[in-house]
A and B are shown apart, each in its own frame.
Chain A
Amino acid sequence: MEENKKGGTRILAILGVIVVLIILFFGTFWNSKTANRDTEKAVKSVSLLYLEELAGRRVQVVSSSLNYYLEKMQIAIKLLDEDDLKSIENLQVYQSRMKKLYGLEKFAFVDNDGLIYTSLGILRGIDQYPFDYKTLKSPKIRVKDVHKEDKKVIIAVPLEDNLVLADKELKVGFIEITMNNLLNMISLQTDNNSTTFCNIYTRNGIALTNMILGGLAQEDNLLGAMKTANYDLGFSYDCFSKSFSNGEEGVVSFTYNNIKETLYYEPIQNTDWTLTYLIRENVINDKISSISDNILTRSLIQSIVAVLILVSMFIVFSTQNKKAAKIAFEKEKADAENRVKQEELEQRLVLQEKLLEQERQKTEADYMVNALSSDYRSVYYVNLEKNEAICYRRNKKLTDKIVEGDHFSYLTKFTEYANLYVVESYREEFLEFIKPENIRKNLMKEPVIFYRYLTSHNGKEAYEMIKMANVSHSETKNNQVIQSIGVGFSDIDAEMRDSLMKNQALSDALKLAEEASKAKTTFLSNMSHEIRTPMNTIIGLDSIALQDSTISEKTREYLGKIGGSAQHLLSLINDILDMSRIESGRMIIRNEEFLFSKLIEQINTIVSSQCNEKGLEYDCQLEGNIDNYYIGDNIKLRQILINILGNAVKFTPKGGKVSFFVSKTANFDKKSTFKFVIKDTGIGMSKEYLPKLFDAFSQEDSKSTNKYGSSGLGMAITKNIVKMMNGNIDVESEKGVGTTFSVTITLIDSDKKLTDEETGEIRLQDINVLLVDDDPVACEHGKLVLEKAGIKSENAFSGKEAIEKVKIRHARRDPFNLIIIDWKMPEMDGVETTRQIRSIIGNESAIIVLTAYNWDDILDEATKAGVDSFITKPLFASNLLDEFKMAIKKKNISTQTAKKADLKGKRILLAEDMKINAEIMIMILKMREMEVEHAENGKIAVEMFESHESGYYDAILMDMRMPEMDGLEATGKIRNMGHEDSKTIPIIALTANAFDEDVQRSLQGGLNAHLSKPVEPESVYSTLESLIASSK
Chain B
Amino acid sequence: MLNITKMNELGCNTAEGLKRCLNQETFYLNLVQMGLKDENFAKLEEAIKNNDLDKSFEIAHGLKGSIGNLAITPLYNAICEITEELRAKKAIDYSPLLEKVKENRDKFLAEL
CB within 8 Å of B: which residues of A?
913-917, 919-920, 923-924, 927, 961, 963, 992, 1013-1017
Of A916, A927, A1013, A1015, the contact of B22 (CB 8 Å cutoff): A927
- Complex: A1016 Cα to B35 Cα, angstroms: 19
- Complex: A1017 Cα to B16 Cα, angstroms: 12
0/1 interface trace, chain B 15-57, chain A, CB 8 Å (1 if under): 0100111101001000100110010100000000000000000
| In the complex with contacts A924-B22, A927-B22, A1017-B22, A916-B61 CB distance below 8 A | no
- Complex: A913 Cα to B43 Cα, angstroms: 14
Give, as a whole number of angstroms, the nearest-CB distance from A47 to chain B: 139
Contacts of B64 in A (CB 8 A): 992
Name 17 extra pairs, CB < 8 A, besides A915-B34, A992-B68.
A914-B40, A916-B31, A916-B34, A917-B69, A920-B20, A923-B21, A923-B24, A923-B27, A963-B58, A992-B61, A992-B64, A992-B65, A1013-B68, A1013-B69, A1014-B69, A1015-B69, A1017-B20
B70 on interface, CB distance cutoff 8 Å = yes
CB within 8 Å of A: which residues of B?
16, 19-22, 24, 27, 31, 34-35, 38, 40, 58, 61-71
User: A914 to B66, Cβ gap below 8 A?
Assistant: yes
| In the complex with contacts A920-B31, A961-B62, A1014-B20 CB distance below 8 A | yes
Contacts of B35 in A (CB 8 A): 916
Q: Find the A residue at minimum CB distance from B40.
A: A914
User: B22 to A923, Cβ gap below 8 A?
Assistant: yes
Q: Find the A residue at minimum CB distance from B84.
A: A993
- Complex: A421 Cα to B21 Cα, angstroms: 103
Contacts of B58 in A (CB 8 A): 961, 963
Q: Find the A residue at minimum CB distance from B59.
A: A963
Most buried by B among A913, A914, A919: A914
Contacts of A927 in B (CB 8 A): 22
| In the complex with contacts A923-B27, A961-B58, A961-B61, A916-B70 CB distance below 8 A | yes
What are the 3 closest A-B residue pairs judged by CB atoms, nearest first?
Answer: A916-B66, A914-B66, A1014-B69
- Complex: A914 Cα to B58 Cα, angstroms: 11
Complex A-B: 21 CB contacts under 8 Å: A913-B62, A914-B62, A915-B66, A916-B35, A916-B38, A916-B66, A916-B70, A917-B65, A920-B20, A920-B21, A920-B70, A923-B21, A923-B22, A923-B27, A924-B20, A961-B61, A1014-B65, A1014-B71, A1015-B20, A1016-B20, A1017-B20
Contacts of B19 in A (CB 8 A): 1017
User: A914 to B34, Cβ gap below 8 A?
Assistant: no
Contacts of B21 in A (CB 8 A): 920, 923
Q: Find the A residue at minimum CB distance from B35.
A: A916
Contacts of A1017 in B (CB 8 A): 19-20, 22
Contacts of A913 in B (CB 8 A): 62
Contacts of B62 in A (CB 8 A): 913-914, 961
Of A914, A923, A1016, the contact of B65 (CB 8 Å cutoff): A914
- Complex: A862 Cα to B28 Cα, angstroms: 51
User: A1013 to B31, Cβ gap below 8 A?
Assistant: no
- Complex: A914 Cα to B21 Cα, angstroms: 16
Contacts of B61 in A (CB 8 A): 961, 992
- Complex: A1028 Cα to B81 Cα, angstroms: 38
- Complex: A961 Cα to B60 Cα, angstroms: 11
Of B31, B40, B63, B67, the contact of A919 (CB 8 Å cutoff): B31
- Complex: A917 Cα to B35 Cα, angstroms: 9
Contacts of A924 in B (CB 8 A): 20, 22
Give, as a whole number of angstroms, the nearest-CB distance from A991 to chain B: 9
Q: Find the A residue at minimum CB distance from B32.
A: A916
Q: Find the B residue at minimum CB distance from A963.
A: B58
- Complex: A1015 Cα to B64 Cα, angstroms: 13
- Complex: A916 Cα to B34 Cα, angstroms: 7
- Complex: A412 Cα to B94 Cα, angstroms: 125
Contacts of A923 in B (CB 8 A): 21-22, 24, 27
- Complex: A1013 Cα to B65 Cα, angstroms: 7
Contacts of B24 in A (CB 8 A): 923
Give, as a whole number of angstroms, the nearest-CB distance from B75 to chain A: 12
- Complex: A916 Cα to B79 Cα, angstroms: 16
Give, as a whole number of angstroms, the nearest-CB distance from B27 to chain A: 6
Give, as a whole number of angstroms, the nearest-CB distance from A488 to chain B: 103
Contacts of A961 in B (CB 8 A): 58, 61-62
User: B34 to A920, Cβ gap below 8 A?
Assistant: no
Contacts of A914 in B (CB 8 A): 40, 62-63, 65-66
Give, as a whole number of angstroms, the nearest-CB distance from A351 to chain B: 133
Give, as a whole number of angstroms, the nearest-CB distance from B74 to chain A: 16
- Complex: A914 Cα to B79 Cα, angstroms: 15
Most buried by B among A913, A963, A992: A992
Most buried by A among B62, B63, B70, B71: B62
Q: Find the B residue at minimum CB distance from A924.
A: B22
Q: Find the B residue at minimum CB distance from A927.
A: B22
Give, as a whole number of angstroms, the nearest-CB distance from A923 to chain B: 6
| In the complex with contacts A923-B27, A992-B61, A916-B69 CB distance below 8 A | yes
Give, as a whole number of angstroms, the nearest-CB distance from A1010 to chain B: 15
- Complex: A1014 Cα to B27 Cα, angstroms: 17
Give, as a whole number of angstroms, the nearest-CB distance from A689 to chain B: 69
Contacts of B31 in A (CB 8 A): 916, 919-920
Contacts of A1015 in B (CB 8 A): 20, 69
Give, as a whole number of angstroms, the nearest-CB distance from B12 to chain A: 13
Contacts of B16 in A (CB 8 A): 1014
Give, as a whole number of angstroms, the nearest-CB distance from B105 to chain A: 14
Give, as a whole number of angstroms, the nearest-CB distance from A113 to chain B: 120
Q: Find the A residue at minimum CB distance from B76.
A: A1014
- Complex: A927 Cα to B20 Cα, angstroms: 12
User: A920 to B38, Cβ gap below 8 A?
Assistant: no
Q: Find the A residue at minimum CB distance from B58.
A: A961
Give, as a whole number of angstroms, the nearest-CB distance from A927 to chain B: 5
- Complex: A1015 Cα to B61 Cα, angstroms: 15
Contacts of B40 in A (CB 8 A): 914
Contacts of B67 in A (CB 8 A): 916
Contacts of B66 in A (CB 8 A): 914-917
Give, as a whole number of angstroms, the nearest-CB distance from A203 to chain B: 135
- Complex: A961 Cα to B40 Cα, angstroms: 14
